[in-house]
Amino acid sequence: MKKLVIKRLINSACKFITAATVSLVMILPTSCQSTKEIAYFQDAQNGNRVETTPKHITLQPEDKITIVVNSRNQELSNMFNLPYISRQLGSTNSTYLSSQGISCYTVDKNGEIDFPELGKVKVAGMTRQEVAEHIKNKLTASNLIKDHIVTVEYANLSISVLGEVKSPGRYKIDRDALTLLEAISLAGDLNIHGRRDNIRVLRNEGNSQKTYTVSLLSLEELYNSPAYYLQQNDIVYVEPNKMRARQSTVNGNNVRSSSFWISFASLLTSVITLVTR
């Protein structure tokens, strides 16, 4: 009778250990990360204002753009427009084409493009709208065309978003000013394992690469960062938090993984059973 009671007590203890272990496994991942490290813009209050000045993207060597001139005289306009060319499979044509099939201008190492009838035109350091206005004024000054409209679009400008986001990858720039928040939105937002307080932006500046660190926890700090407005070829990297880092290492994973605690509970149950036989 005494052995039967002891055996029941052991079974109850084993069930308790198993249940406690499962609960611990469920609690550990959520308790390792404070909610203070997750919420964005923690200093933002209703009615608060943070002044920002949009920084438009300016062209750099090796950027590609499309330029289209339109006027009432279409034949005259066509003199200044590169032809529409369709690239065929296996073609050796080296002309860069956009998705619309319009030949593109490549900004050379001197920051210039070779424009029909105008020759070399300096465009490096200019925004898209400034290039359009510059080309329009040069065409007007040369009396080559009147009542014309010049449209400039980006062809190959992009940024990359890497690390702890939903959809890491390379994203095309289709606007004059692209913010860090917009880039993160394009990548599907940070996942739960991404550090909000240490977003890194890698940027080419001349012959070197500079790294900026930005925190999403402070709205004011974010808006005042030189990396809030992105430039072409910027790389945005979201660093993993401590919990993700532990999961990626053998030692850290052993003490925090569900398999470890389940194995531990099973071993403990077996030991108790053997001792009390």
Q: What is the pLDDT of residue 184?
A: 97
Cα–Cα–Cα angle for 128, 131, 135, rounded to 5 degrees: 145
Return the closest-CA partner of residue 233 out of 28, 61, 4, 17: 61
Predicted confidence band of residue 103 (pLDDT cuts 50, 70, 90): confident
Q: Are 132 and 120 in contact (CB under 8 A)?
A: no
How many percent of the chain have pLDDT more than 70? 69
- Secondary structure of residue 82 in the 3-state scheme: coil
Asked if the model's pLDDT at residue 274 lies above 60, the reply is no
Q: What is the pLDDT of residue 144?
A: 84
Asked if the model's pLDDT at residue 130 lies above 90, the reply is yes
Predicted confidence band of residue 262 (pLDDT cuts 50, 70, 90): low
Tokens of 8: 């029941």
Q: Are 32 and 192 in contact (CB under 8 A)?
A: no
* pLDDT tens-digit series, residues 153-195: 999 999 999 999 999 999 999 899 999 999 999 999 999 999 9
How many percent of the chain have pLDDT more than 90? 49
Whole-model pTM?
0.71
Q: What is the pLDDT of residue 10?
A: 56
Q: Are 219 and 258 in contact (CB under 8 A)?
A: no
Using CA atoms, how far apart are residues 105 and 67, in angstroms rounded to an integer?
8
Mean pLDDT of the chain: 80
Using CA atoms, how far apart are residues 41 and 223, in angstroms rounded to an integer?
11
Higher pLDDT, 178 or 101: 178
Higher pLDDT, 33 or 155: 155
Asked if the model's pLDDT at residue 101 lies above 70, the reply is no
Sort 2 into a burial class: Cβ within 10 Å, 0-12 / 13-18 / 19+.
Answer: exposed
Residues 6+ apart with CB under 8 A from 90: none
Q: Which helix (H) or strand (E) holds 151?
A: strand 149-154
* pLDDT tens-digit series, residues 59-68: 999 999 999 9
Using CA atoms, how far apart are residues 161 and 274, in angstroms rounded to an integer?
55
Q: What is the pLDDT of residue 99?
A: 43
* pLDDT tens-digit series, residues 207-258: 899 999 999 999 888 999 999 999 999 999 999 988 766 666 645 555 555 5
Q: What is the pLDDT of residue 260?
A: 59
Q: Which helix (H) or strand (E) holds 275?
A: helix 258-275
Q: What is the pLDDT of residue 48?
A: 74
* pLDDT tens-digit series, residues 74-99: 888 888 888 776 544 444 443 444 44
The whole-number average pLDDT for the span 150-154 is 94
Q: Are strands 158-163 and 235-240 parallel, antiparallel or unpaired?
A: parallel
Q: Are 52 and 223 in contact (CB under 8 A)?
A: yes
Q: What is the pLDDT of residue 89?
A: 44
